[in-house]
Amino acid sequence: MFTTVGNRGTMHLGLCLRVLILAALTVPIRAAQPAQETFTLTVPDGPTSTLSGSSVSLLCQVSPLFNVEPLEVRWYRSSNFHSLALLYKYHKIQEAPVDPQYSGRVSLTGGMERGNVSLTLERVTLEDKGEYVCQVTSKQWYEKASVFLTVNVTGSEPVLSVAEARGGGGQVNVTCSSAGWSPQPKLIWTNKEGTEIRNGQEVLNTSDPQGLVSVSSWLLYAPSYSDWLACTVSLSEEVKRESRILPLIYTAPTAVPGVYKEAYILILVLLVLSPVIICALCSVILWKRRGSMWSSSRKSRNSSDQTELGQRPTETKNLIEGAENTVKTLTRQRAAGKGGNLKETNNSIEGAETTVKTPTEYIAFENIILDEKTAHPAIRVNQEKQRAHYIKEKDTEKRFRMHLHVFSQESFSSGRHYWEVKVKDGTTEKLSWYVGVARENVERRPIVPLTPQNGFWILSFDKEKGFHVNTDPQSPITVAELTIVGVFLDCDRHTLSFYNVDTESLLYTFTDVKTFNYFPVFSPGQRDIFTIRII
C-alpha cells in the first residue's frame, strides 16, 4: 500500500514540475511583448497632402509590432519640442501642455495595441502645414521620425482678358490670373485640341502674408474667330480650375461697318423719302378724280406733309451722317440734343433713338442718370444728375467711410450698351478718377478691394500711377492723353470694353464680366474738385 501511495505521490510531483516549467517558459515571453528593448518607427517616404478643411492621418507605425499603450507618445512641430500637438502618457491623452490651436482636433486612431501611433488631425487649416515629429518613448529606449504635411488650397477661377499687343504684328496679349492657391500651382495654356502652348508665355507667382499664392501669365497669340484658348491652373489632375476665351479684340462699335454702309444709307434715304412719294402719288390720283377739289385737298395734304417732313430736317441729316461715323459721333449728337429725335425721323428702324443696327447686333447708346441716393457723402451730383465732383469730407463722414463713387439709376441685364464719360475739360486735368460697372449689392466698405472678384470692373487714373484696369494684379494702360472714355458693355457676351473716344481706339476689354445685373459706376476721385461728366 505505501509503495503504491509513494508511486502516486511521485507521479503527482512530476506532473507539478512539468506545469511549473511550462509556466516559466511561457509567462516571461508574454510579459516581454510590450517592453521591447529597441524598436524603430515607420513613416511615409514623401509628404502627406490634404485639402484645407478636411481631415488627415499622419502615419507612424512601431516596428516590430507590439502593444505600445504603456509607452509615451508625442507629436510636435519640428521647430518646437515643447509646442505639442498631442501627448499620450499614463494610458491616456493629456490635455496639457498642448498647443491650443490643436485642442479638440487631434486623436490617436490607428490602434495602439498593434503598435500604430498615427495622428489624426481634423478641420485642417493652412497654418497646419509643415513638419511634424512622431516620438515614442519607453523606459529603455526612444525613437522619433518626421512626417511632412502639405495643405492644398484651391484658388479662384482664372480670369482671362485680351488686349492688343504692343507693336501690333497681328497678335494679341492674352492674360490669365488666379489667386488664393497653396502650394504654388501649375499654370498651362492649351488650344482647343488640348495641345499645350509653350512659346511666347510668361508666368509670375507672388505670395501674400498668409502664404497663399497668386499666379498670372501673359501669352502672345494670333487672334482667331474659331480657336479658343484655355488657361488651366492646377495642383494635381483632381484639383484644378480652367477658363476659356476667344482671343479677339472687339473694336469700338460703329454705326454701320464695312461693306454694308452704302446699302444702309440707300435704304435709310428711301425710308425717309417714302412718305413724300406716297403723298405725291395720292395727290395726282385725287387731282385726276376730283378735278377742282384737287387744289384744296392738295393744300391740306401739303400742309400736313410739310409739318411732318420739315419738322426734323437736321435730325434726318444727322442720322444719315451718323451711319458713316462712329459711336462717338452719334452719342455726341445725342448729347447736343439731336439724337433724342432720331426715333421720329426713322420709325422703321428698331429703337433708332437708342440703337443703331449693324449686320449682327444692336448697340444701345445710353443716357445715363446718376443716382444721388447711392453717392458717397463727399460726392455732389448736379441737378441734371450727369455731373459729379468731390467736396472736402467732414470728420463725421470719415467715420462712415466707404468707397468714393456713385452708381447710375439704370441697370442692365441683357443687350449691348454704350455711354461716354468726359474726364478732362480743356486744360483742367483731374488728379484721379475711375469709371466702369459693378454688380448689384456690392460691398462698399474700403477694406474690400475694388476687384473683379468683389464685383467691380473699372478703368482708373491716378496722376502718379497713370491709367490702370483693376485686374489682379493691376494692368497698366498706355495712353498719352484721355479726355473722353467710351464704355461698351455687352451683357450677352459678358464683356466690358473701354475706348479712347478722341482717337477711336480700344484701351482694354474684360472678357469674364459675369453677373445678373450691371450698374454703371463713376468716381470723381478725392484729390481735386473738378467734375466728371456723362455726355
Residue 185 in contact with residue 215, Cβ under 8 Å? yes
Return d(Cα 497, Cα 428) in angstroms, integer. Answer: 26
Percent of the chain surpassing pLDDT 70: 72
**Quick one: pLDDT band at residue 83, thresholds 50, 70, 90?**
confident
262-289 tens-digit pLDDT: 665 777 777 777 777 887 776 666 556 5
User: ∠ CA(322), CA(272), CA(361), 5° rounding?
Assistant: 50
- Higher pLDDT: 159 or 293? It is 159
Return d(Cα 180, Cα 433) in angstroms, integer. Answer: 29
Q: What is the mean pLDDT of the chain?
A: 77
Work out whether the CA dihedral 178, 180, 181, 184 comes out positive or negative: positive
Largest CA distance in the chain: 174
Cβ neighbors of 2 (< 8 A, separation 6 or more) are none
Strand-pairing partners, residue 241, are 233
**Quick one: pLDDT band at residue 40, thresholds 50, 70, 90?**
very high
Cα–chain center distance at 264: 41
Residue 356 pLDDT greater than 60, yes or no: no
Return d(Cα 523, Cα 250) in angstroms, integer. Answer: 25
Residue 319 pLDDT greater than 60, yes or no: no
Residue 105 pLDDT greater than 60, yes or no: yes
- Higher pLDDT: 309 or 52? It is 52
Residue 227 pLDDT greater than 70, yes or no: yes
- Higher pLDDT: 185 or 332? It is 185
Return d(Cα 149, Cα 467) in angstroms, integer. Answer: 43
User: ∠ CA(498), CA(500), CA(502), 5° rounding?
Assistant: 155
Return d(Cα 369, Cα 534) in angstroms, integer. Answer: 8
Instruction: Check residue 447 and give its pLDDT.
Output: 66
CA dihedral 99, 104, 109, 115 (to 10 degrees): 20
Instruction: Check residue 307 and give its pLDDT.
Output: 36
Mean pLDDT of 247-275: 62
Q: Please count the residues of the chain.
A: 535
- Higher pLDDT: 472 or 531? It is 531
**Quick one: pLDDT band at residue 58, thresholds 50, 70, 90?**
very high
| pTM (predicted TM-score) | 0.40
Instruction: Check residue 110 and give its pLDDT.
Output: 80
Q: Which of 35-39, 45-49, 261-265, 445-449 has the lowest mean pLDDT?
A: 261-265
130-145 tens-digit pLDDT: 999 999 999 999 999 9
**Grid cell listed for 48:** 502627406
Q: How many other C-beta atoms lie within 10 A of the C-beta of residue 506?
A: 18
- Higher pLDDT: 233 or 329? It is 233
Strand-pairing partners, residue 505, are 500
**Quick one: pLDDT band at residue 510, thresholds 50, 70, 90?**
very high
Residue 386 pLDDT greater than 80, yes or no: yes
